[in-house]
Chains A and B, each alone.
Chain A
Amino acid sequence: MFKRNARQDLIFFLVFSAFVLSMPVLLAPIGAGYPDLLQKFAIYGLFAIGFNILFGLTGYLSFGHAAFLGVGSYAAVWMFKLLTMNVIPAIVFAVIISGLFALAIGYVSLKRSGIYFSILTLAFAEMSYKLAYSVLTPLTNGETGLQVKLRASGPVTDLINQDVRVLDAAMGIEENGIPAPSLFGLEITGWQAFYLCAVMLIAGFYIAMRINRSSFGMMLRAIKSNQNRLNYTGVYPRPYLLAAFTISGMYAGLAGALLAVTDPLAGAERMQWTASGEVVLMTILGGAGTLLGPFLGAAVIKYFENIFSAINENSLHAVLSFLPDPVENALVSVLSMFVGEGWHLTLGLLFMLIVIFLPGGLIEGFNRLIGLFTRSRKQTTGENREEA
């Protein structure tokens, strides 16, 4: 029984990996086959998968996860500025720093639960954002954003504007202009950057799957279903919660680091609470508590953001031109509310519908559809649902 589960997991994992790696080809027909967007799929997918470890498993709703993403970005860019353009130290350092940051904030915030927990995380995130914008300017370069600069030739007086890259300098790497992030000499831009993100996503997915299947994951789910009962059985849930919070913070940090790798600039906007709200949207939309849901939600939202928002009235007119004019015009004026700049409206409505009717997200929707068509094999669908 247990063995079969492991086997199913393996297949599930392999299919997922194959899909992620072939996205450049598979998604090209729907206009998503360009590196910037696919990088975003992978990065925000990771962010949401990490967020799901906290929210999906324990039910603790954090509205401050964007802060960890921002911290990860800043940490990664600082590594680029100080040590080397190699992406490995940047990623490792970003994950460690955001992990520590999450540990500290989680330790305080988890003293409360429910809505108080949400508000505490919200308050911490807003504080981080406001500080990054004001007094922490020497670390963050404020609104301008922290950027990779030229390596200083003389004495260094201003680290924001003069980079040192000690390791690169020690290894005698020549720089002609501002260098791009690299992986042992291979430049990480465009498609290379996408494959790096994809590999990270697959690794992150694997770890999340292992956590899900472990006794630790079981404990987290127990917290969600009934914390009191856990308390009565003598289990003290906070260390588990803190571990989950920190791990999801590290995922956010990794996502932040990858954002910095694909585009070496860190701005404070990505820490704002509405950015935290976005990852909540992604997770719920796809299906909180499921493995695939968060990635699906992230991809759908990023796809909408880039593709749906580019549709305008002219393209609507072109599509609907077969209709009689008055009908066409009426339809276009209604539809234009939902596309182009109004795509957030579609997103908001979709999100509300999902919270109201499909608390399990798109994944639950798919499962219900599958259930409709394969009623005869009800048993297997029941299992699938748990698995997905």
Chain B
Amino acid sequence: MDAILLQVLNGLDKGGAYALIALGLTLAFGTLGIVNFAHGALFMLGAFCAVALNKLLTLEKVTLDPTQKTPWGAPLEIRTPYVEAWLGDFGKFLVDWSVPISILVVVPVMLLIGIAMERGLIRHFYKRPHADQILVTFGLAIVLQEIVKHFFGANPIPVPAPAIFAGSADVGALFGLPPNTIVYPWWRLIYFLFALVVIGIVFAFLQLTTFGMVVRAGMRDRETVGLLGINIERRFTIVFGIAAIVAGLAGAMYTPVLPPNYHIGMDFLVLSFVVVVVGGMGSLGGAVLAGFLLGILQSFASMNEVKAIIPGIDQIIIYLVAVVILLTRPRGLMGRKGVMED
């Protein structure tokens, strides 16, 4: 029982990440009809916003202490972050909370990157075949990750969560189980909740605002909306920016779970496409549903009991589900008719 509950938690946590990435991908696809292979790179850029902020806050002032010596005879170096030196306890707080604070950086930065990408590149590819879109965004993904590699190096950079979330929560106690039967890391629980909040905001935005209504109408029938005299293009640009923000937020908040390297986007890209396909191309609800579903499926597949029956299933379950869905129900779980059915 507790083992199963633990796997569900694990699945929700993974699923949160999958759902967020797939949501952004679908947003761009459903509105603009663009197959964006650079979406993983946006996730990566978000993660590196968090890394950059953390690096900036922990820039250190080096003072030499001549009274103490290192074993090789040089004076001992004492390092203190500038922020702490200037701001005292508030500085310490800033450093500790750098990941949540990075959200404030991620939103404007990713919005700008998204808009620049759409205006500068994607826009010219609306009329070109999907293969060309895949290729040019694949190239862009390489360029983006190489730029990050140039500045941050090729190796993963750990970014700690705030100290109070470093430990684990006794989740079992909530369900009336004896203490310490189910413990789960705080940050992973927070990530799951965060994913829910972001998804909620995006849906509310699309459902409840006029802007969202126009965008949804545009997704259905761009031409008619255009004929009504509404500048749908400009709105689509903003939607692309929102997609970039969602991907960036997913990446930034994921850094304490998995130290990011420049390549992390490519690793998530394949997964996110699989999630989108399973959910149904162009369906926002489908992307979210499929994200959580695949996360939980993957968690269960990696239980020792399951692996004993089907060896290796934990490695391929996601792809297997994608293949089966594509062959039997190419529209995915919740895909709309007529989207990408060529």
A and B touch in the complex (CB under 8 A): yes
Chain A positions within 8 Å of B, measured between CB atoms, are 59, 61, 108, 111-116, 118-120, 122-124, 126-127, 130-131, 133-136, 273-274, 277, 280, 284, 337, 341-342, 344-345, 347-349, 351-352, 355-356, 359
Contact partner of B270 (CB less than 8 A), chosen from A108, A273, A280, is A273
Please provide the 9 A-B residue pairs with the shortest distance between their CB atoms, ordered closest to farther.
Answer: A135-B312, A348-B142, A345-B146, A352-B139, A130-B315, A348-B143, A123-B319, A351-B139, A355-B136
- The answer to whether residues A355 and B135 also contact, given A111-B327, A124-B319, A135-B311 and a CB cut-off of 8 A, is yes
Whether the Cβ atoms of A119 and B277 lie closer than 8 Å is yes
Residues of A within 8 A of B311 (CB): 134-135
Residues of B within 8 A of A347 (CB): 142
Cβ-based interface call for B147 (8 A): yes
Instruction: Looking at the assembled complex, report how far the CB atom of A65 sits from the nearest CB atom of chain B, in whole angstroms.
Output: 15
Contact partner of A116 (CB less than 8 A), chosen from B147, B320, B340, is B340
The segment from B126-134, B172-180, B235-243, B251-259 found at the interface with A is B126-134
Instruction: Looking at the assembled complex, report how far the CB atom of A54 sits from the nearest CB atom of chain B, in whole angstroms.
Output: 12
Residues of A within 8 A of B264 (CB): none
**Which residue of chain A has its CB nearest to the CB of B310?**
A135
Cβ-based interface call for B316 (8 A): yes
Cβ-based interface call for B305 (8 A): no
Interchain CA distance A274-B121 in the complex, whole Å: 23
* 8 contacts across the A-B interface (CB closer than 8 A): A61-B135, A115-B35, A123-B319, A345-B143, A349-B143, A352-B136, A352-B143, A355-B135
B contacts with A, residue count (CB < 8 A): 40
Cβ-based interface call for B234 (8 A): no
Instruction: Looking at the assembled complex, report how far the CB atom of A237 sits from the nearest CB atom of chain B, in whole angstroms.
Output: 13
Interchain CA distance A124-B319 in the complex, whole Å: 7
Whether the Cβ atoms of B142 and A59 lie closer than 8 Å is no
Whether the Cβ atoms of A134 and B312 lie closer than 8 Å is yes
Instruction: Looking at the assembled complex, report how far the CB atom of A347 sits from the nearest CB atom of chain B, in whole angstroms.
Output: 7
Interchain CA distance A344-B139 in the complex, whole Å: 10
Interchain CA distance A344-B149 in the complex, whole Å: 10
Instruction: Looking at the assembled complex, report how far the CB atom of A133 sits from the nearest CB atom of chain B, in whole angstroms.
Output: 7
Residues of B within 8 A of A351 (CB): 135, 138-139, 142
**Which residue of chain A has its CB nearest to the CB of B273?**
A119
Cβ-based interface call for B333 (8 A): no
Residues of A within 8 A of B143 (CB): 345, 348-349, 352
Residues of B within 8 A of A348 (CB): 139-143, 146
Whether the Cβ atoms of B319 and A114 lie closer than 8 Å is no
Whether the Cβ atoms of A344 and B142 lie closer than 8 Å is yes
**Which residue of chain B has its CB nearest to the CB of A137?**
B312
**Which residue of chain A has its CB nearest to the CB of B130?**
A115
Residues of B within 8 A of A59 (CB): 129, 131
Interchain CA distance A134-B312 in the complex, whole Å: 6
Whether the Cβ atoms of B323 and A124 lie closer than 8 Å is yes
Whether the Cβ atoms of A355 and B139 lie closer than 8 Å is yes
Interchain CA distance A116-B323 in the complex, whole Å: 10
Interchain CA distance A280-B124 in the complex, whole Å: 21
Cβ-based interface call for B109 (8 A): no
Cβ-based interface call for B154 (8 A): yes
Residues of A within 8 A of B327 (CB): 108, 111-112
Residues of B within 8 A of A120 (CB): 322-323, 326
Whether the Cβ atoms of A352 and B130 lie closer than 8 Å is no
**Which residue of chain A has its CB nearest to the CB of B147?**
A345
Instruction: Looking at the assembled complex, report how far the CB atom of A315 sits from the nearest CB atom of chain B, in whole angstroms.
Output: 18
- The answer to whether residues A115 and B138 also contact, given A108-B323, A122-B273, A341-B149 and a CB cut-off of 8 A, is no
Cβ-based interface call for B330 (8 A): yes
**Which residue of chain B has its CB nearest to the CB of A344?**
B146
Residues of A within 8 A of B35 (CB): 115
Besides the known contacts A108-B327, A120-B326, A348-B143, 15 further A-B residue pairs in the complex with CB atoms under 8 A apart: A113-B342, A118-B131, A120-B323, A123-B322, A126-B316, A127-B315, A130-B319, A131-B316, A134-B312, A280-B138, A348-B140, A349-B139, A356-B121, A356-B124, A356-B136
Cβ-based interface call for B12 (8 A): no
Residues of A within 8 A of B315 (CB): 127, 130-131, 133-135
Contact partner of B326 (CB less than 8 A), chosen from A61, A112, A126, is A112
**Which residue of chain B has its CB nearest to the CB of A273?**
B270
Contact partner of B277 (CB less than 8 A), chosen from A116, A134, A135, A284, is A116
Interchain CA distance A162-B316 in the complex, whole Å: 30
Cβ-based interface call for B45 (8 A): no
